[in-house]
Amino acid sequence: MASTNVVGILGGMGPAAGADFVRLFVQACAQQMRARGEPVRDQSFPEHWLAQVPVPDRTDALGSAENGAHQPLEPMLQALGRLAALGSQAVAIACNTAHAWHARLQERFPQVELLHMAREVAQHLAAQRAGSVALMATEGTYRVRLYDQALADAGLDCHVPLAEERRIITRGIFDGVKAGNMQLAEACFSQVALQLVQRHGPVTIIMGCTEVPLGLQGSAAVAGLSLVDPAQVLAAALARRAYRD
Amino acid sequence: MASTNVVGILGGMGPAAGADFVRLFVQACAQQMRARGEPVRDQSFPEHWLAQVPVPDRTDALGSAENGAHQPLEPMLQALGRLAALGSQAVAIACNTAHAWHARLQERFPQVELLHMAREVAQHLAAQRAGSVALMATEGTYRVRLYDQALADAGLDCHVPLAEERRIITRGIFDGVKAGNMQLAEACFSQVALQLVQRHGPVTIIMGCTEVPLGLQGSAAVAGLSLVDPAQVLAAALARRAYRD
């Protein structure tokens, strides 16, 4: 049995997405074992820790004055420090928008490899030879252009929804998933996804907020579309770090 | 907004069950907020930590000599100590069989309230005025009579499967859920559940191993049966501790 590294997951943004990230990570670890021809046993999973801590809303903070942008950083720094103290060699952040603080978090804890969701997704899409993509995300993620550089580096063209469609996505995130109204979430997200495909053709849609896949899971309305879940891609990347010799 | 307590989840037994326990806990927290008439927001969830650590198989250890029984205790003690150091006021163990070590874990960390799954389930069933129950569990859980005292205290009569049925449950747990073969798991678990009801009438079935509900989720074969998920009951109990003023 290969020795494994301890890894951490920084969650709570929102908590349902953090829980789902652990599920995706456990699935990705089982795939690692199968790919190595090892039996899947409880004891072959790497030690991993999930921190779900209250963090002020990321998009709100990015939209306000300079002081606002510091609010989410402090609890994330504290949780990341604790994950590092628990022995985590690599940490994934289970929130797209929170990656606006990725550089500052990584800078403070250079001993931990802090994965970057957008870069992992861009590499994944480039390997799959995706052509055009469209990004469904929070206003905060659009504002800091989180995916722009990574997608451009991978040679991928990215479409973004119209202002009205972005408002519908925001409604699905906050009044839908975060408030527990999954029917509303599905209606909002599927409407925008279908409009993106009508306008731009068969693009791959990046569900670039961890709440979006939770709302679209099992949705018949988008069954034919090409969707990529950044949390799943990131969970697989974290599993590779855990099993790296 | 009510102030919340930090709580912990001791998982990894198996890891998929630990991930599912966080999902159930997050749902239970949302229900707490709704019951209090508060909006469900990311920032209103209590800080919580999940430790998923490799722990030797609990049933194996309980079946071997005295030395064997110490093997699962050490990693659980270490993880519980770390959850306590992170500030956890209450901790839930996301594994039925691991409760064989509950008293020794609680004794070492008296400052933490270590919930007891079987006692929470017995109280829950007594409040629901369940009559007879049947227990689907690991050989280890049967051997240490984990549920017997708690169910007897609650005035509940408990049926256990026959030896051959217990072997089928074990197969569903290890060759099914833990190995990622969910189809096998569903076939094993549903067969035993149906036989229990045929033999004992409309009993409430305690899915007394965290792998059983994972295998029976969405199973049409057992759609009409009365099933209780101890992980769900325990997650609700942990959420009550988190929101206790």
- Rounded CA-CA distance B26/A19 in Å is 8
Residue A154, SS3 per DSSP: coil
Q: Residue A185 domain-assigned?
A: yes
Residues B122, B89 within the same domain: no
B22-57 pLDDT tens trace: 999 999 999 999 999 999 999 999 999 999 999 998
Whether A42 and chain B come into contact, CB under 8 Å, resolves to: yes
Please give, rounded to a whole number of angstroms, the shortest distance from the CA of A20 to a CA of chain B.
Answer: 7
Q: Residue B1 domain-assigned?
A: no
H-run or E-run covering A135: strand A132-136
What is the domain extent for residue B224? 118-229
H-run or E-run covering B129: none
Residues A102, A112 within the same domain: yes
Q: Residue A123 domain-assigned?
A: yes
Q: What is the pLDDT of residue A244?
A: 86
Q: Residue A161 domain-assigned?
A: yes
Q: What is the pLDDT of residue A68?
A: 67
Position B213 pLDDT exceeds 90: yes
A37-86 pLDDT tens trace: 999 999 999 999 999 999 998 988 988 766 566 689 999 999 999 999 99
Tell me the Ramachandran region of residue B87: left when phi exceeds 0, alpha when psi lies from -120 to 50, beta otherwise. left
Q: What is the pLDDT of residue A237?
A: 98
For residue A33, the domain's CATH number is 3.40.50.1860
- Rounded CA-CA distance A171/A185 in Å is 8
Q: Residue A1 domain-assigned?
A: no
Tell me whether strands B132-136 and B157-159 are parallel, antiparallel or unpaired.
parallel
Residue of A16, A49, A179 lying closest to B26 (CB–CB): A16
Task: Using CB atoms within 10 Å of the CB of residue A145, give its burial: 0 to 12 exposed, 13 to 18 middle, 19+ buried.
Answer: middle
Given a contact cutoff of 8 angstroms between Cβ atoms, the answer to whether A234 and A11 are in contact is no
B116-135 pLDDT tens trace: 999 999 999 999 888 899 99
Q: Residue A2 domain-assigned?
A: no
Query: Can you tell me the mean pLDDT for B104-108?
Result: 97
Q: What is the pLDDT of residue B59?
A: 87
A17-38 pLDDT tens trace: 999 999 999 999 999 999 999 9
Q: What are phi and psi of B86, to 5 degrees?
A: -80, -5
- Rounded CA-CA distance A164/B26 in Å is 31
Residues A67, A97 within the same domain: yes
Residues B94, B175 within the same domain: no
Residue of A40, A51, A178 lying closest to B178 (CB–CB): A40
Instruction: Tokens for A106, please give them.
Output: 């990584």
- B54 to A39: CB separation less than 8 angstroms, yes or no: no
Q: Residue B2 domain-assigned?
A: no
| Average pLDDT of every residue of chain A | 94
Q: Residue A140 domain-assigned?
A: yes
Position B66 pLDDT exceeds 90: no
Across the beta sheet with B113-114, the strand order is: A113-114, A90-93, A7-11, A48-52, B48-52, B7-11, B90-93, B113-114
Instruction: Tokens for A102, please give them.
Output: 């990725």
Residues A125, A224 within the same domain: yes
| Average pLDDT of every residue of chain B | 94
Position B2 pLDDT exceeds 60: no
Position B245 pLDDT exceeds 70: no
B49 to chain A: which residues are within 8 Å by CB?
49-52
Residues B24, B90 within the same domain: yes
Q: How many domains does chain A have?
A: 2
Residues A75, A145 within the same domain: no
ipTM of the complex: 0.93
Position A193 pLDDT exceeds 90: yes
